[in-house]
Amino acid sequence: MRIIPAIDIIDGKCVRLTQGDYGKKKVYREDPVEVALEFQDADLDCLHLVDLDGARVGHVVNWEVIRDIQEKTALSVDFGGGVKTEAEVEQLLDLGVHQINIGSMAVKEPETFSKWLKKYGTENFVLSADVKNGNVAINGWLEDTKFRLFDLVSRFEAEGLEYLTCTDISTDGMLEGPNIGLYKKLINKFPKLKVVASGGVSNLHDLEELKYAKVYGVIIGKAIYEGKIRLEDLKAFQNS
């Protein structure tokens, strides 16, 4: 199971939200690059990087942070937040971003996402599905939709989708444990997909449960910043 620490950015700073609420923002660090380097120094090799400004306004905003992390670390970065155009896709790939998370576009312009999967390769994209009561939320979780999670995933799996990150909004930032049942259902229904769990992880026991559920990876954010999980413990877990 891949251990993927997260950095969420607002105004160039490292922050976390609670249940996706921009009104419940906490700034943890002024310099996201320093945080990324700490993850690298702990022998972690992946990073989930989210431009929350971009997610809210509908285009990538924090380009400088993305460039700095790409230039100053060797982390394998998956990036999300406001990617809406082919020009942004190409710019991110040119910067060396490993994968691009697509959420809102997959719901609002599925034909465009399908075209990107075909043109740039399915290995370069992650379908990022943020879920509330079984329905997908978009635009930085600010807009609810009537799209059901399993219908959305089925649509793109049929077109070669390989990677899925699923966040249960009700658990995100709550430190009360992930929605294990949801991930088991996804893995049972889509056994070929590489499913990454996101939201709610608060301790090493949560990681053990997710590993047992056979998720491909797990994104960890607030638990790191609040000191619930130490980087040295993640290093040991990753190597176990």
Boundaries of every domain in the chain: 2-238
Q: Using the predicted structure, report yes or no on whether residue 172 has a pLDDT greater than 70.
A: no
Q: Using the predicted structure, report yes or no on whether residue 173 has a pLDDT greater than 70.
A: no
Q: Quick one: pLDDT at residue 20?
A: 75
**Rounded mean pLDDT of the chain?**
92
State mean pLDDT over 188-198.
Answer: 97
% of the chain residues with pLDDT over 90: 79
Choose between 155 and 236: higher pLDDT.
155
**Number of Cβ atoms within 10 Å of the Cβ of 199:** 28
Q: From the candidates 53, 130, 168, 172, give the one annotated as an active-site residue.
A: 130
Q: Quick one: pLDDT at residue 19?
A: 75
Q: Are 2 and 122 in contact (CB under 8 A)?
A: no
Residue 68 annotated among the catalytic residues of the structure: no
State mean pLDDT over 185-214.
Answer: 96
Q: Quick one: pLDDT at residue 132?
A: 82
Residue 8 annotated among the catalytic residues of the structure: yes
Q: How confident is the model at residue 16 (pLDDT cuts 50, 70, 90)?
A: confident
Q: Quick one: pLDDT at residue 174?
A: 65
Contacts by 82-88 with C-beta closer than 8 Å and gap 24+?
82/51, 82/53, 82/54, 82/55, 82/56, 82/57, 82/58, 83/54, 84/58, 84/59, 85/59, 86/116, 88/59, 88/60
% of the chain residues with pLDDT over 70: 96
Q: Using the predicted structure, report yes or no on whether residue 6 has a pLDDT greater than 80.
A: yes
Q: Using the predicted structure, report yes or no on whether residue 142 has a pLDDT greater than 70.
A: no
Choose between 235 and 218: higher pLDDT.
218
At 37, list the tokens.
Answer: 């380097």
Q: Does domain 2-238 have CATH number 3.20.20.70?
A: yes
Model pTM? 0.93
Q: Using the predicted structure, report yes or no on whether residue 94 has a pLDDT greater than 90.
A: yes
Only one residue has tokens 């793109």, namely 156
C-alpha count within 13 angstroms, C-beta hemisphere, residue 240: 11
State mean pLDDT over 92-104.
Answer: 97
Q: How confident is the model at residue 25 (pLDDT cuts 50, 70, 90)?
A: confident
